Structure 1
């Protein structure tokens, strides 16, 4: 198998609000929009994002609850400083895990958690 592209589809109550979050804070651009969905893209290895209007008739729990979108980035400390300046909703501040990952989390207006992480080898490894 040779995967040449990837898309993460998120069913949310307000696609436009999530779209503003991804374009403002995460460098995505709007590629396509209609009444019920919004397609976002970037020019790097990040997956495309499709924000789809959630069917409000579905039972609770079928939305973004429990969804975590994780991006491996370079210089996560600089991203943290930038996101703080922009007033992004940072829900887990920058921290270093014992296994060598430095990460932060932010949450969009629909409850989608986005994690930015960078591998920093533990001292002595």
Structure 2
């Protein structure tokens, strides 16, 4: 299993303000589903940050998203470890397969793969 990118998720109601502020630093909007907006660097596409007020299908806003090349293998490894699964493995309508797990620091990590 390989990590493809890591994206911090910032819980906020100020989406427009964040788009403008981080735009000053060179970020551009690369995704916006209304409830989550992701900004990315045009020169380094894996450099991203997401902003969301809530998560459309999960009970909490994750602190961090980690995209992996095999989300099913990641899920099995995490499940076997006994870590707390916060949101079960599922296919989402916007084209990702994901689950949430709580890390040793209490942070919620969204582990995902694109279909």
Q: TM-score, normalised by structure 1?
A: 0.41
TM-score (norm 2): 0.44
